């Protein structure tokens, strides 16, 4: 009842916040993240919680930290809570507080790169375990935590390698939780799929010529024709979004990412443009790739194209990369119930507009749900002055406590249904 700073509750709260600040202050900024330091920090947390730990470097210098809280029934498939340890770069001059300072202002807002994306989630998992252990809780299923590198640059040396590894097979995972997005309303956002990235570079070639001459088929004219076609397609998709006919994750987005060509004069023989394209799992992948080959970069207009990043739209069994939200996937309802039990509200299931590591787990046929317990907060992923309020952070710990309880205790009489082995 006491609100004095020395009450055990207050004391514990300030320790929780200090640990969060400590993790945020570790410089894991791409492109040169200090993974040694983040690994040490996570291992020291694991030790204080008596969790089993293992560090796997599928690629040298890119540690995947695996923690395990063994369940009482090892025959049951396990739960995996995933988070990435890297964060995106920042522009120091645009921030009110240093992005690696984790400054807490008078409102309790914690400013730091990674405060939303997603050091919060990684540490909330650990804090929830701390509380559960203190309460004497014993999980039936084993609980794994994975702290993976390089999500922000594609996850190829992190989560992708993990998902396809023997280590992962031996973990016998039934369900994966990974990052979601902050919600400006009181409803948490839940994601059952995501758009597939197509980072595309198109290149036009053509006869160079005098800058004063009007002629067809120059590289620049050929590229501009493509840009016009791409922009018409972009407008058609954007119109669906603006009219409210589709949600953000349900349209194909296209944004021009770079343009490389020419000098003031003469007309160049090569011109290149790059686009960040995101394709919903409900779209027809083949017709999208045909559109790119035949309309955006046709050989008939002296054009070539290349994918700098090409995410799959189907799992390794040929099905769209979608996690079921209906009764066929008990983990969905269990998650919603557990969140509600902790006094959290949830919105309608959504398609994540960008990319996360969850796609690699969906690819191998596992259900994966995107969720960050961040409500009442503007979405500042990758933006200046990213922050998370301390009360929201603390509430998120309670939410994970409830989720871990529900997930690790779930033991249907007939065993798991819909698990990978039975498909």
- 118's contact among ligand AME, Zn ion, none, with CB below 5 to 8 A by partner kind, is Zn ion
Contacts of 242 (CB under 8 A, 6+ apart): none
Binding to ligand AME (CB under 6 A): which residues in 124-163? 152, 154
Per-residue binding string, ligand AME, 182-201, x by CB under 6 A, is ---------------x----
Least Cα distance to 119 among 34, 12, 32, 22 occurs for 22
117 binds Zn ion (CB under 5 A): yes
User: What H or E segment, with its residue span, contains residue 222?
Assistant: helix 219-242
309 binds ligand AME (CB under 6 A): yes
Is 356 near ligand AME (CB under 6 A)? yes
Q: What is 105-126 written as a DSSP string?
A: -TT-EEE-TTTTTTHHHHHHHH
The pair of structure tokens assigned to 302 is 């002296």
Q: Which is nearer to Zn ion, 85 or 329 (CB)?
A: 85
Catalytic, 186? Answer: no
Give whichever of 115 and 218 is closer to ligand AME, judged by the CB atom: 115
Q: How far apart are CA 112 and CA 27, in angstroms?
A: 11
Q: How far is the CB of 122 from ligand AME (least distance, A)?
A: 15
86 binds Zn ion (CB under 5 A): no
CA distance 245 to 10: 48
Residue 270, H or E segment: strand 270-279
- Looking from the CA of 362 toward its CB, the CA atoms found within 13 Å total 29
Residues paired with 309 in a beta bridge: 199
- Exactly one of 247, 285, 322, 354 binds ligand AME (CB under 6 A); that residue is 354
Choose, from 11, 22, 47, 151, the residue flagged as catalytic.
151
Is 416 a binding residue for Zn ion by CB under 5 A? The answer is no
Q: How many residues bind ligand AME (CB under 6 A)?
A: 7
**Closest approach of Cβ 196 to Zn ion, in Å?**
17
CB of 50 to ligand AME, least distance (A): 32
What is the Cα–Cα distance from 375 to 358, expressed in whole angstroms? Answer: 21
- Position of tokens 């956002």? 189
The residue written with tokens 């929201």 in the block is 392
List contacts with Zn ion (CB under 5 A): 117-118, 179
List contacts with ligand AME (CB under 6 A): 152, 154, 197, 309, 354-356
Which residues belong to the active site? 86, 151
């Amino acid at each position: 009842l006491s609100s004095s700073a020395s009450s055990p509750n207050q004391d514990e709260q300030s320790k929780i916040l200090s640990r969060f600040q400590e993790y945020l202050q570790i410089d894991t900024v791409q492109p040169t993240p200090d993974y040694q330091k983040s690994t040490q920090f996570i291992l020291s947390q694991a030790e204080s919680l008596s969790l089993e730990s293992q560090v796997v470097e599928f690629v040298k210098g890119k540690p995947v930290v695996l923690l395990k809280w063994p369940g009482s029934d090892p025959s049951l498939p396990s739960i995996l809570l995933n988070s990435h340890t890297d964060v995106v770069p920042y522009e120091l001059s645009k921030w009110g507080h240093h992005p690696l300072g984790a400054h807490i202002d008078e409102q309790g807002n914690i400013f730091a790169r990674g405060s939303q994306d997603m050091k919060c989630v990684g540490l909330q998992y650990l804090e929830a375990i701390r509380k559960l252990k203190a309460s004497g809780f014993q999980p039936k299923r084993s609980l794994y935590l994975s702290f993976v590198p390089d999500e922000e640059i594609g996850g190829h040396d992190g989560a992708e390698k993990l998902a396809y590894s023997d280590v992962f097979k031996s973990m016998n995972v039934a369900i994966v939780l990974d990052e979601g997005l902050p919600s400006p309303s009181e409803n948490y956002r839940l994601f059952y799929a995501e758009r597939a990235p197509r980072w595309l570079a198109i290149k036009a070639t053509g006869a160079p010529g005098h800058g004063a001459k009007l002629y067809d088929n120059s590289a620049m004219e050929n590229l501009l024709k493509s840009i016009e076609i791409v922009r018409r397609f972009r407008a058609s998709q954007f119109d669906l979004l603006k009219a409210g006919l589709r949600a953000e994750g349900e349209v194909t987005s296209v944004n021009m990412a770079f343009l490389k060509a020419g000098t003031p004069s003469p007309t160049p023989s090569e011109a290149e443009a790059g686009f960040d394209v995101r394709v919903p799992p409900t779209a027809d992948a083949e017709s999208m790739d045909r559109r790119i080959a035949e309309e955006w970069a046709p050989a008939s207009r002296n054009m070539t194209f290349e994918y700098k990043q090409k995410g799959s739209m189907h799992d390794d069994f040929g099905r769209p990369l979608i996690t079921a939200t209906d009764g066929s996937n008990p983990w969905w309802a269990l998650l919603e119930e557990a969140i509600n039990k902790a006094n959290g509200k949830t919105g309608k299931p959504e398609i994540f507009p960008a990319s996360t590591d969850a796609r690699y787990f969906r690819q191998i046929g596992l259900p994966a749900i995107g969720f960050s317990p961040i409500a009442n907060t503007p979405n500042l992923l990758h933006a200046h002055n990213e922050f998370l309020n301390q009360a929201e952070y603390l509430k998120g710990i309670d939410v994970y406590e409830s989720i871990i309880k529900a997930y690790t205790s779930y033991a249907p009489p007939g065993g798991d249904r819909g698990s990978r082995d039975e498909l």
